[in-house]
Amino acid sequence: MTGTPVLAARDVSMVFGGLTALSEVNLTLDEGQILGLIGPNGAGKTTFFNCLTGLYTPTRGTVTLRGTRLPSDPAAVTVAGVARTFQNIRLFPSMTALENVVVGRHSRMKQGPLASLFHGPAYRRGEQAARDRSLELLEFVGLGRVHDELSRNLPYGDQRRLEIARALATDPSVLLLDEPTAGMNPQETEATRQLIFAIRETGVAVVVIEHDTKFIFSLCDHVSVLVQGKLLVEGTPDVVRGDPRVIEAYLGKPPDEVEAEVRHYADETADHTQVIELDGGSEGDKR
Ligand SMILES: Nc1ncnc2c1ncn2[C@@H]1O[C@H](COP(=O)(O)OP(=O)(O)O)[C@@H](O)[C@H]1O
Ligand SMILES: [Mg+2]
């Protein structure tokens, strides 16, 4: 099913002191859609996710899920059906992969905290079901074999996938991914692209923030470009890719040329141990 809005942001603005991080941003996510959100560092992408998930209360504007206004409370937003991952990974490092996913599952379960005091049969059935579903999700993201590993011992790419499994454990209708391929090699990036397609197949609509424009243009049905807190352009990948304002304001040059230049610069400066920060900016999801 496509064409029905599931998530809608209307005129969302976010002001921090004197800084306007978002200015009247609109977004409509349809059922079955994969929407890409791109823009330079500091454009307000993470801040926008924080507004969509109740972590921040927008200064102005509204966020609705299937027409119902979402509360300014992250736990309630999760229960309503919006799940996310974070630009800077947030896992429980001393818990196993499976335990991390079970935690996500718990945010969805009906039994209250008292149930765990009594450990009755209903409680045990619930726990078993949570484990079974969590294992299934680990298989789904390709981590079934490492379910017993402590999450801190997993390679970086696996930790990112584990975060996705934990988000999926909340049974979302919308999944928000903040830079899911950051730090991944090309093979892992491609596996993540395929995973996002598979997630869409399960009926979850997805919004993805990424810097890798090739990844975004080959993944998304719709792309929104945020620059200095404002929506600059939105449309199909073809429309966005060809828009002169995007090329000028965001890419500066065609993506291939930009990448070639970055590689060249990296080679030139390798001897001087200079670090090129493509995304070293602030992360609005730090609290
Ligand atoms: N909690 C906050 N307090 C003050 N400024 C913030 C906060 N969160 C984000 N910002 C600012 O908002 C702007 C957008 O940041 P961010 O949303 O992280 O951008 P992006 O994710 O596009 O790189 C930045 O100037 C950042 O410093
Ligand atoms: Mg960000």
Q: Is the CB of 183 under 6 A from ligand 1?
A: no
Residue 273 pLDDT: 35
Q: Closest residue (by CA) to atom 2 of ligand 1?
A: 284
Q: What is the CATH number of domain 5-81+172-272?
A: 3.40.50.300
Q: Which of 210, 282, 283 to mutate to test the pocket of ligand 1 (most atoms within 8 A of CB)?
A: 282
In the chain, where are the structural domains located?
5-81+172-272
Could you report the per-residue pLDDT of 106-143, keeping only the tens digit for each?
886 655 556 666 677 877 888 888 899 999 999 999 99
Neighbours of 110 (CB within 10 A): 6
Q: Residue 163 half-sphere exposure, CB side, CA atoms within 13 Å?
A: 23
Task: Tell me the residue type at 82.
Answer: V
Phi, psi at 225, each rounded to 5°: -110, 120
Ligand 1 center–CA 19 separation, angstroms: 9
For the chain, what is the mean pLDDT?
86
Q: Closest residue (by CA) to atom 10 of ligand 1?
A: 284
In the predicted structure, residue 265 carries a pLDDT above the cut 90: no
CA 241 to chain centre: 22
Of 48-57, 166-175, 269-278, where does mean pLDDT reach its minimum? 269-278
CA–CA distance, 101 with 96 (Å, rounded to integer) = 9
